[in-house]
Amino acid sequence: MSNGDSGEQSFGRWLIETVLLVVLALVLAQGIKAFLVQPFVIPSGSMIPTIQERDRILAEKISYRFIRDPQRRDVVVFKNPTGDPAAPILIKRLIATGGQTIDLRKGVVYVDDVALDEPYTHGLPSDPLNPQITYPFKIPAGNYWMMGDNRTNSGDSRQFGPVANTAVLGHAVWTYWPPRAFSALN
């Protein structure tokens, strides 16, 4: 064997190892995104002031799969029930769960006849959006009622109705970009 063969063999081994490492890194990244945590870019102002338009957030996926169901006040990422290709993913606050009754009275949200304390709306009224949804409205089992914090500028369950639990993608937990917004979500 000559020196040239050894160099070619070393380069070949290096190339194969590099390709395998890149493939492994891509598989790990996709696995993390699919099962653990996924980044999202916020497309609209429906969650202002909690989340600004174009902020980047992280949604964890473990708790809803293995630990607990989504709960009231959680900020949730889910598939758009309208099927709108321009906005396939939405982010809203979970207001009520299956079996509960939601009502909107004079701009105030009631769940099971109890007025909600919603400081994250900064006093914006919660008025009905779709005349085909009548209140009080009982949420079917296996569904959630989602509303944006920016109540006067949010297409949410008041417009499209309850969201199936199978549409939930994750629990939004952290804003990571821009740096001024770097913080946990409440």
3-state helix, strand, coil split of the chain in percent (to 5) is 30, 30, 40
Tell me which of 61, 92, 154, 157 is the catalytic residue: 92
Between CA 67 and CA 130 the distance in angstroms is 34
Q: Is 10 considered catalytic here? A: no
SS3 139: coil
Both tokens assigned to 101: 């009754």
Distance CA(121)–CA(103), nearest Å, equals 17
Active-site hit among 33, 44, 46, 79: 46
Q: Residue 38 and residue 81: Cα distance in Å, rounded?
A: 20
Rounded Cα distance between 117 and 134, Å, is: 22
Query: Do 150 and 47 form a contact (C-beta atoms < 8 A)?
Result: yes
| 160 HSE (CA, 13 A, CB side) | 18
Which secondary-structure segment (H or E) carries 27?
A: helix 3-35
Say which amino acid occupies 76: V
- Asked about 46 being catalytic, the answer comes back as yes
Query: Where in the sequence numbering do the catalytic residues fall?
Result: 46, 92
